[in-house]
Amino acid sequence: MDIALTQRIVSAANTQAGRKTADALGTAVLKKALATQASAAATLLQALPQPQAQPALATTGSLGTQVNTFA
């Protein structure tokens, strides 16, 4: 077997292993960043003021109970 070929195979395997490690590390960092952003978004949503109750709509009389459809 050619020694140069063996060295190239070993080098390729090492390079591929390094890429897998780098990909795994990048994925872990991305997950951590997404978790941090989700936590920050939840905190911001909780800080928003709660909406006030809307007044009841009119149910009797002529004011607010009829729609004029003429254009």
Tens digit of pLDDT for each residue in 23-62? 889 999 999 999 999 999 999 999 999 888 888 877 887 7
| pLDDT at res. 71 | 62
Using the predicted structure, report yes or no on whether residue 4 has a pLDDT greater than 90: no
**Predicted TM-score of the model (pTM):** 0.52
pLDDT higher than threshold 90 for residue 8: no
Euclidean distance between CA atoms 60 and 31, whole angstroms:
56
CA distances to 12, 13, 15, 26 from 3, in Å: 14, 15, 18, 34
pLDDT of residue 5: 73
pLDDT at residue 26, rounded to an integer: 92
Residue partners of 58: CB distance under 8 A and separation at least 6: 64, 65
